[in-house]
Structure 1
Amino acid sequence: MNISKEQLDELNAVVTVDIAKEDYSDKVDKILSDYRKNANIPGFRKGHVPMGLVKKQYGKAVLVDEVNKLLQDALNKYLTEEKLDVLGNPLPKEQENFNWDTDNYSFEFELGLAPKFEVKLNGKKAITHYKIVANDEMIDNQIKTIQKQYGKLISKDTAEKDDLIAGTFVNEEKEIDNATTVSLDKIKGKKNLDKFIGAKVGDVIKVKTKGLFSDDHDLISALKINHDDAHDLNVEVVFTVSEINTQELADLDQDLFDKLYGPGTIKTVTDLRNKIKEDAERQFEQQSEQQLLNDITENVLENTKFDLPIEFLQKWIRATGEQPLTEDEAKDEYEKSEKGLRYQLIEGKIINDNNLQVTFEELKDFAKELIKGQMAQFGQNSPEDKELEDIAARILSNQDEVKRISEQMMSKKLLTYFKENAKLKEKEVSFDEFIKEVYK
């Protein structure tokens, strides 16, 4: 057997595998001999079928199967030994007039090679690393929400601002008939609000759906309609009042603090505000870190330039797709996936150049920390190490879980690397400012 490579350019090559009769003949003869011993062919005793008949019936299929096995093993071994970094898989070249009736065979494979490049982590501008803080307004709103949640409802005769009005929205044409409770602080516009203020049980209120609520999601909930219908809905609905309540806020006292966080954990309103701020900013940190990872990814893609074997990759997409694709369809698929492929190559180089690979021990320790965090949510703050080991072992026996946790770990490692090496500028913002800046 002989394998040779023709380098067409930096990104494309052709590998030729020459297979001679002596490479496969012994294996084929042995398999046919075994077939002869076990073949059941009418007119012949078992084990006495003429070899010529066995070769005629099975010879070609066995030959093709064994040559293909030999070919794949040899090609994979060659790519490994030569340390060829290929994209996709080798593609067999079409060979006209290929003849299985000869003794020696030659096969050609096209290769798309990964480009050589240097990662450009930093562009001209520093990347913003947002530090999202819980401001006083957010903390005030959270405290009010808590007070409402733990407060009590008091029935009223007449609706006033910020009351809760229960009733039924109806529109026969759109088949709307939904009993709900409306919080008047969510009604949009003075004109709409004035129709509800002063209402009594049994009153009928007619309003337009367009612009009724500040948030479309409130309209979806109030009318029980789907998301798509809510956006452009502009019809008149009839709301019949069935109940009016005001919400008496819970007192900010020790009883409430103990209900929220356990006995004695929080003792003053200042403690409560600090706890809310701490919890909120811990959640914000996850969003900030994810945004930083997204922004650095875009930055690296923009600044790291290299060529790809585009023609080969489009051909590979056509050859490996679940459904047959035209050239134009394969081109579209390539364009959709090109950005992801580029980042995959960049990420792989960063991982290899900086030894960021995830080891099994790291994976197990990371899984145990995740388990401890989940157990803490249910009040189990000091699990025994053996219990953690057993749960981690069960989780890591599931390949899907291993993949999911490995990806989490790798994202964490990459983020640490980026923080240490990228040009960053910290910017302190409120959550609303963060949303405004990031999502424009």
Structure 2
Amino acid sequence: MEITKKNIDDLNAVVTLKITKDDYAGNVEKTLDNYRKSANIPGFRKGAVPMSLVKKQYGKAVLLEEVNKLIQEKLNGFLQEEKIDLLGNPLPKADLDIDWDADDFQFEFELGLAPTFDVDLSAKNSITQYKIVADEKMIDDQVRRIRKQFGKLISQNEITEDADVTGVFLNEDKGIENRTTISLDIFKDKKTSKSFIGKKVGDIVSLQTKGLFDDDHKLMDYLKVSHDDVHGLDVTVDFKIEEITTSELAELNQDLFDKLFGPGVISSEKELKAKIKEDAEKQFATSSDQKFLNDVTDFLLKNTKFDLPSAFLKKWIQTAGENPMTPEEAEAEYNKSESGLRYQLIEGKIMTDNNLQLTFDELKAYTSNIIKRQMAQFGQMNPTDQDVEGIVARVLSNQDEAKRLSEQVMSEKMLNLFKEKVKAKTKEVQYEAFVKELYGE
């Protein structure tokens, strides 16, 4: 057999396989002989069917099967040996007219080649890495919420300024129906807050959504409206009052501190505020990291230039799925997936250039930490190593879970690499300012 590759351009090539009778004849004869031994043909004893009859009945099908096996084996071997970096799978040329009555055959396969490019992580950019801080007002508000949560709940007949009100936001046209508990200080306008004073269970307060809160995104929390719908939303919602309560605030004493964080962890209001600040900023760091990762991804997609074998990929997409696509469907699918493919190539290049690898021990350690955190949430603070290892083994035996966790570990590795290599400016902001930056407002 002779296999050759011809480059059409930097992104496309054709592999030609020339197969002679000597390459396949032995396997064809062997397979037909096995057919002859087991064939049940009327008029002949089993195993005594003439080979000429077997060839007439099965010869062409066996020839096709053995030649196709040979093509797959030799083509895959050639691609691996030559270390050809492909996009998609080889496509047999559709316009070849194969004469299956001949002794020798020639097959051609189109290849889509991965592009060659460089990724410059240190390039000049406008990326900002945010450090989100918990300000004093946020911390004081959290302290008050904690004291209310652990305080004594007292039912009231009517709403007062410091009351908590449970009820349902309703707007039939917009499909809004969300039960929630509010305090009167959530509203942007004091006039809105005062409209609740003196109201009783069963009363309905009508509100305009436009300007209801100091940040429209709060509509997502209180009304369960999607982010796409909150901006400029200007409708009337009814708030039907179901329950009115107030709280006798819990004292800031050791008993409360121990309930919150365990015996002896903190022992003063100052330490409580420091702990709240620390925990909040840990949570904020996750949001900051995700935005940084997204911004770096966008930057790399916009600034890492390379071409793709688009015509080949569209042709390949037509035949890659269970059901063949029309050219128009393949075009739409390609346009939808092109950005993802580009970043997949960029990410692979970064991993290769920086020798980013994932070991099974790293995956096990990462999974183990997740399991321990989950167990701690249910009060299992000190599980045995044997218990944890057993759960980890079960989790990683699931291929989908193992893949998902592997992607999380690699995402962390990429994030740490970006923090090290990408020249970003650092900006300290409060959480509300970060939300505005996040949504471009």
Rate the CA distance shift 1:18–1:125 in 2: closer, same or farther, 3 A. Answer: same
CA distance in 1, matches of 2:409, 2:423: 23
Q: Is 2:412 the counterpart of 1:431?
A: no
Match of 2:263 in 1: 263
CA contact (8 A) 2:2 2:19 kept: yes
Match of 1:102 in 2: 102
Tell me, what secondary structure is at the counterpart of 1:86?
coil
CA contact (8 A) 1:122 1:303 kept: no
CA contact (8 A) 1:121 1:299 kept: no
Matches within 5 A, 1:311-330: 311-330=311-330
Match of 2:331 in 1: 331
Match of 1:207 in 2: 206
CA contact (8 A) 1:166 1:179 kept: yes
Q: CA RMSD in A?
A: 3.0
Tell me, what secondary structure is at the counterpart of 1:25?
helix
Mean CA deviation greater in 158-167 or 415-424: 158-167
Match of 1:296 in 2: 296
- Give, in angstroms, the shift of residue 247 of structure 1: 2.4
CA distance in 1, matches of 2:175, 2:418: 54
Matches within 5 A, 1:270-419: 270-419=270-419
Q: Is 2:254 the counterpart of 1:254?
A: yes
CA distance in 2, matches of 1:69, 1:227: 54
Mean CA deviation greater in 14-23 or 176-185: 176-185
CA distance in 2, matches of 1:35, 1:49: 9
CA distance in 2, matches of 1:310, 1:176: 45
CA contact (8 A) 2:96 2:107 kept: no
Rate the CA distance shift 1:70–1:177 in 2: closer, same or farther, 3 A. Answer: closer
CA contact (8 A) 1:188 1:211 kept: no
CA distance in 2, matches of 1:286, 1:352: 26
Q: Which runs of 5+ in 2 are unaligned?
A: none
CA distance in 2, matches of 1:9, 1:138: 60
Tell me the TM-score normalised to structure 1 length: 0.88
Q: Which runs of 5+ in 1 are unaligned?
A: none
Rate the CA distance shift 1:270–1:312 in 2: closer, same or farther, 3 A. Answer: same
CA contact (8 A) 2:206 2:238 kept: yes
CA distance in 2, matches of 1:242, 1:296: 47
State the Cα deviation string for residues 142-198 of structure 1 (Å, max 9, x = none). Answer: 112212211222233442223234567889999999987654334564454343212
Rate the CA distance shift 1:15–1:171 in 2: closer, same or farther, 3 A. Answer: closer
Mean CA deviation greater in 269-278 or 386-395: 386-395
Match of 1:160 in 2: 160
- Give, in angstroms, the shift of residue 370 of structure 1: 2.7
CA distance in 1, matches of 2:21, 2:408: 51
Rate the CA distance shift 1:425–1:233 in 2: closer, same or farther, 3 A. Answer: closer
Tell me, what secondary structure is at the counterpart of 2:306?
coil
Tell me, what secondary structure is at the counterpart of 1:274?
helix
Matches within 5 A, 1:67-216: 67-125=67-125, 127-165=127-165, 183-186=183-186, 189-200=189-200, 204-205=203-204, 207-208=206-207, 210-211=209-210, 214=213, 215-216=218-219
Rate the CA distance shift 1:179–1:99 in 2: closer, same or farther, 3 A. Answer: closer
- Give, in angstroms, the shift of residue 431 of structure 1: 1.4
State the Cα deviation string for residues 390-437 of structure 1 (Å, max 9, x = none). Answer: 332222222112211211111122222222222122221111121111
CA contact (8 A) 1:169 1:176 kept: yes
Rate the CA distance shift 1:303–1:228 in 2: closer, same or farther, 3 A. Answer: closer
CA distance in 2, matches of 1:81, 1:138: 61
State the Cα deviation string for residues 292-323 of structure 1 (Å, max 9, x = none). Answer: 22122222222221121121111111221444
Rate the CA distance shift 1:16–1:238 in 2: closer, same or farther, 3 A. Answer: closer
CA distance in 2, matches of 1:416, 1:297: 14
CA distance in 1, matches of 2:16, 2:237: 75
Q: Is 2:65 the counterpart of 1:65?
A: yes
CA distance in 1, matches of 2:419, 2:172: 58
CA distance in 2, matches of 1:182, 1:394: 43
- Give, in angstroms, the shift of residue 13 of structure 1: 0.7
CA distance in 2, matches of 1:362, 1:160: 56
Tell me the TM-score normalised to structure 2 length: 0.88
Paired residues in the alignment total: 435
CA contact (8 A) 1:14 1:111 kept: yes
Tell me, what secondary structure is at the counterpart of 1:420?
helix
Match of 2:50 in 1: 50
Mean CA deviation greater in 112-121 or 209-218: 209-218
What is the letter of the counterpart of residue 17 of structure 2? V
CA contact (8 A) 2:39 2:46 kept: yes
Rate the CA distance shift 1:200–1:311 in 2: closer, same or farther, 3 A. Answer: closer
What is the letter of the counterpart of residue 216 of structure 1? L
State the Cα deviation string for residues 189-222 of structure 1 (Å, max 9, x = none). Answer: 44543432123457x445256459534346647x
CA distance in 2, matches of 1:39, 1:320: 36
- Give, in angstroms, the shift of residue 122 of structure 1: 2.9
CA distance in 1, matches of 2:256, 2:92: 72
Rate the CA distance shift 1:21–1:418 in 2: closer, same or farther, 3 A. Answer: same
CA contact (8 A) 1:220 1:226 kept: no
